[in-house]
Amino acid sequence: MRGIPLFHIELAIGQHLRTGSVGVWKAVSPYLGGVGLGCLTVSFLVSLYYNTVLTWVLWYFLNSFQNPLPWGSCPLDLNRTGSAEECQASSPVSYFWYRRTLNVTADVSDSGSIQWRLLACLAASWAVVYVCVIRGIESTGKAIYFTALFPYLVLTIFLIRGLSLPGAVEGLTYLFTPDVRILQSPRVWLDAATQIFFSLSLAFGGHIAFASYNPPRNNCEKDAVIISLVNSLTSLYASIAMFSVLGFKAANDHGRCLDRNILRLINAFELPDQSVDRDDYAAVLTHLNATQPERVARLGLETCRLEDFLDKSASGTGLAFIIFTEAILHMPGAPGWAVLFFGMLFTLGLSSMFGNMESIITPLLDMGVTHRFVPKEVLTGLACLVCFLSAICFTLQSGNYWLEIFDNYAAPLNLMVFAFFEVVGVAYVYGVQRFSDDIESMTGRRPGLYWQVTWKVVSPLLLLTIFVAYVATLARTPLSYKAWDTQYVRPPGGLAWPFPGAALRGPVGRLRRDPRPPELQRPTGRQS
């Protein structure tokens, strides 16, 4: 009711006016030219931190060609007599991410130094993007065949392998079982409502730019419906593949938790070795609790519930670089699966970067910012160079904090505003009837009542409602970011060991702590 109608607008108006976002909205009304400039600005900002995520992916991809994987164990301390204390206080996977990859500082006020390995990966990522978009739609169209199809191949491989792993059924059951307590939270529904902007890349200007290259008689209505459905089905397909593997990880962690408790029982009660297995554990524990409860209580047994391990889900960087990388460690042939996984993420990110860069370059060409004798390849190179130089701040030790701030506050609110003015501009400035006439002249088919009602009434109201709710939520919640804190200790799900905490800084600089580690916190609603 909101995403597909707006998607149809962008495809149709770009195809009809055959120009980029700035030119399109200036043609609709001179007063709407700022919408096009806003879309260009948001695309620029998103490109900065989005390609930084590709930098991290590339770093993990290069490190995946090692056996064993470098995030599988803690490194030695300075004396080489034991494991690094900071790694022991968290986990090998978290340590590799926060310390060996990001080398993160305590908070955003401490910028730290540039991480040269990340800077090199950032330069390589932008070089790959430049090579792929150097000739615009001509070179992008060739690259997209690989970047769009390769992830489906990898997802299928992960799906087949994941479904054959123990715990896959539990993972899929968890995926498709709604949590009523979570669904009662208004923030969850607000995150779901804003997610569509990132899922379909709405209000970035990329669809308008790409649609301007479509044949004039192209059926943009069919494109909008089919692409939206394929997008939703792909998300479902990817979720099944990922949660089958995450279910395996949860089952593996649950089994190891049971093994630790069984070992404590055997040692404390002097039971014969291997006299208690995982299937008998619950019955043995019940019997001992009934007969010798004080001795059992003194053992400090961990609470081993499969649901607790399944609840340790995450989104964004937490899912890719902590949760899923740990799951890969438990799979036979882990380096090969790591290469496939991070290779898939890199190609997925490239596909999104194609749209972001087209959202920047096409409006710049339309505005004539360079002399007409300057080749497009030069303008594209300059755009990539400016983006690279601007993104160097994300390679600082505090770069992860700045990226999260950008991700949470730079794009969502702006995209809602631009999407609202896009719909209002077409429906009430340009006119629905005039717009329908243009589509009919292109495709030979006039938009039906559904499209006209959603453009004129439903979509503007929904966007306005979401905008007001989002602003109200931001007003009630202090601005925050997650920070690495090795001294923070809390027993998640009954397990007691230090995890990264979350330092929340409000507008007056107050330091607060979120009771959950970053990798266990709920998704924000945005996807990479």
Question: Which residues sit in the known binding site for Na(+)?
Answer: 199, 231, 348, 352
Q: What is the dihedral of CA 407, 410, 415, 418, to 10 degrees?
A: -170
215 DSSP β-pair partners: none
Instruction: Provide the annotated binding site.
Output: 199, 231, 348, 352
Cα separation, 448 vs 430, whole angstroms: 18
User: Is the Cα dihedral 195, 201, 202, 205 positive or negative?
Assistant: positive
- CA nearest neighbour of 126 among 386, 407, 398, 396: 386
- Cβ pair 398, 481 in contact under 8 A: no
SS3 489: strand
Quickly tell me which residue has 């890969």 as its tokens: 328
In sequence order, the 6+-apart residues with CB closer than 8 A to the CB of 105 are: 111, 112, 397, 398, 401
82 Cβ neighbours under 8 A, 6+ residues apart: 76
Question: Counting beta carbons within 10 angstroms of the beta carbon of residue 48, is it exposed (0 to 12), middle (13 to 18) or buried (19 or more)?
Answer: buried
CA separation for the pair 443, 344 (Å, rounded)? 36
Task: Give me the DSSP letters along 101-133.
Answer: IS---SSTT----B-HHHHHHHHHHHHHHHHHH
Bridge-partner residues for 504, per DSSP? Answer: 512
Is the four-CA dihedral 226, 228, 231, 235 of positive or negative sign?
negative
Peptide bond preceding 70: is omega within 30 degrees of 0, i.e. cis?
A: no
3-class SS of residue 317: helix
Q: Where are the beta strands (DSSP E) in 141-183?
A: none
Dmax (CA) for the chain in angstroms is: 89
